[in-house]
Structure 1
């Protein structure tokens, strides 16, 4: 058996493993972990809206909230492991293709690669926090620090502005796809009872729209920071959420967005149960 045959055989086995039960388990664990984070961030944002919040409404605040619970350390390690699973699932999609039509095209695989990098970073920050290394600091300070460093490089102001505009566009796309219920294409709809389908649609539409609004708002703050050449105007998740309370609608807009993030957490749990992987 020559080297080419062996290589093809090895790639075939890797592809089958990526599309098998191991990848499915990693995907479902990752979606569950994502749901926990969004659920906690949404609850923290609701507490802020009602003036009772003790933690920041971002990933760091969610981890701090989780660590205060009984068996908090175990929960943090489990959450980190789930996010590692999410990163590995996205890596398998980048390498071997995404489920669904045109799944093997670069248009589908490149976003999967980007998601892999993102979730690998999130998993690292959660595991570092669980290990006591403080791996998940304030999202607001992180955003300001990164913006400041990028603005120091040549054309940094343009880079920040373009990235911010890209985040705005991503937020709009996320919200529109949620409103159009595009997630139906990824679900095992035949396994959903009428009641489960209503739950998925309420959480998918409301949660996805809220998530898109938060993305778009954060991107808009980055664009403003670039235009004004003031890195401190960039906002992380916590400051972005708090900014909704400064609108004419007051804290009630924050309540609506925060409730939407809670819904997205529940929607992630639904995806962990019924998504096609």
Structure 2
């Protein structure tokens, strides 16, 4: 069986599974949007000194759990994120949308995203089931860093991970600023006003999200260089670190608003993303 036959077979399989795949992807983007909106809101409260809650996924889930029908919403978020993981897995197997979606690089990227969203979905569903599976991101980061440093060449592994996260953050910033998400969206279905709104949320949200990843990667790299696992930071501590800059809490306000914009952008992706 040659490569072209495999490609045709993959496309045929994707067409058969298209309705389920599309629904899973759109549910996943919606769930991601809810979580980023809540994290941004919690970060905004921290910036103005009005919250002692975690500005991370765990804090967002606790916020949902405390609302009426919160348990039902948590399960819905978890299922939506499972859908996101399954969609990325389908891209790994069948290839992503677009002319170059079947290339090995695209498939590997989709596989990594499937693993990432699978883990996030597991933590959300564990929290919904009452196991407390979504604790502090800061504690988890420090524990994971400490365990990694105990491995042979652990310091180098942590440094490599830090560099990888930092580079991923910079890549997110550049991709958002260049509006590279345009190629993934059905722009022809948008009015001028909607497209302008999508660009505001896509650029502002993508830049803010990328900055958070880049700074978190920098902290991980610092932890490796100084051989101090406690220097690694999860999302909550990373966001709080923005208040320690010369501009005080205003940088965190900018980042918090950006994360909320990314949540809104995720809703737009749920509506207009090519799947």
Per-residue displacement from partner, 1:14-70 (whole Å, max 9, x unpaired)? Answer: 43234x111000000000000011100000000000111142000000000001111
Match of 1:48 in 2: 46
Match of 1:104 in 2: 102
TM-score by length of 2: 0.95
Would the aligned equivalents of 1:93 and 1:112 in 2 still touch at CA under 8 Å?
Answer: yes
- Partners of 1:102 and 1:9 lie apart in 2 by 14
Would the aligned equivalents of 2:10 and 2:95 in 1 still touch at CA under 8 Å?
Answer: no
Q: Number of matched residues? A: 270
1:119 is the counterpart of 2:120: no
Residue aligned with 1:99, SS: coil
- Partners of 2:94 and 2:223 lie apart in 1 by 39
Alignment of 1:200-215 (within 5 A): 200-215=198-213
Partner residue of 1:60 out of 58, 61, 64:
58
**How far off its partner does 1:13 sit?**
5.9
Per-residue displacement from partner, 1:191-212 (whole Å, max 9, x unpaired)? Answer: 0001100110000000000000
Residue aligned with 1:245, SS: helix
Superposed structure 1 runs of 4+ greater than 4 Å apart? 7-13
Match of 2:3 in 1: none
Match of 1:4 in 2: none
- Partners of 1:253 and 1:243 lie apart in 2 by 10
- Partners of 1:249 and 1:141 lie apart in 2 by 27
Would the aligned equivalents of 1:170 and 1:216 in 2 still touch at CA under 8 Å?
Answer: yes
- Partners of 2:8 and 2:269 lie apart in 1 by 32
Residue aligned with 1:51, SS: coil
Match of 1:219 in 2: 217
- Partners of 1:104 and 1:237 lie apart in 2 by 33
Match of 1:167 in 2: 165
Structure 1 range deviating more: 228-237 or 45-54: 45-54
Would the aligned equivalents of 1:17 and 1:23 in 2 still touch at CA under 8 Å?
Answer: no
Would the aligned equivalents of 2:10 and 2:94 in 1 still touch at CA under 8 Å?
Answer: no
**How far off its partner does 1:186 sit?**
0.4
Match of 1:16 in 2: 15
- Partners of 1:185 and 1:114 lie apart in 2 by 21
Task: List runs of 5+ in structure 2 lacking aligned partners.
Answer: 1-5
Residue aligned with 2:244, SS: coil
- Partners of 1:24 and 1:12 lie apart in 2 by 15
Task: Report the aligned-residue RMSD.
Answer: 1.5
Match of 1:72 in 2: 70
